[in-house]
Structure 1
């Protein structure tokens, strides 16, 4: 049986190479095959939550960087320069 172009044995090998854990959160079991939606290439095996998060951010690295900046408290905010005039961060 194949899932996303890999066999169950290949999936199990990936999970074993990740010590059975999700490589993103390091807290949950790796159970869901993650793949690039553009190329179909399998990237690894993730937990449900991390796999869903990547999908919800549309596999967009820029969106993920903004999410990281947000979590770290570096929120993107325009600066008021004059009444009704804002400078955007670069």
Structure 2
């Protein structure tokens, strides 16, 4: 798996893959992640709705910073 991922995190594809990520419901291994991405998934409790909301929040903030968006 490490070789298949080129030694890099399956999410950010920048940092070294150091952690075996698994589904907490099934126990199945998903991929190898870096510390930051692994911790982030844990903090967001693997909830895709919350993860998408966080991504949208960051995109909105970036748009505001670029002067392209309305107030939060």
Instruction: Classify the TM-score, shorter chain.
Output: 0.7 to 0.9
Whole-Å separation in 2 of the counterparts to 1:23 and 1:42:
12
Residue 18 of structure 1: CA displacement?
A: 0.3
RMSD of aligned alpha carbons: 1.0
* Unmatched segments (≥5 aa) in structure 1: 1-13, 75-90
| Greater share of residues in strand | 1
Secondary structure (helix, strand or coil) at the match of 1:73 reads: helix
Q: Which residue of 2 aligns with 1:39?
A: 26
TM-score, normalised with respect to structure 1: 0.65
TM-score by length of 2: 0.81
Structure with the greater alpha carbon radius of gyration: 1
In the comparison of the two structures, how many residue pairs are matched?
A: 61
Gaps of 5+ in 2: 62-72
Runs of 4+ in 1 over 4 A off after TM superposition: none
Instruction: Find the counterpart in structure 2 of residue 80 from structure 1.
Output: none
Measured in 1, the distance between the counterparts of 2:21 and 2:34 equals 9
CA distance in structure 2 between the partners assigned to 1:29 and 1:16 by the alignment:
12
Look up the match of 2:17.
30
Larger helix percent: 2
Equivalent position of 1:3 in the other structure: none
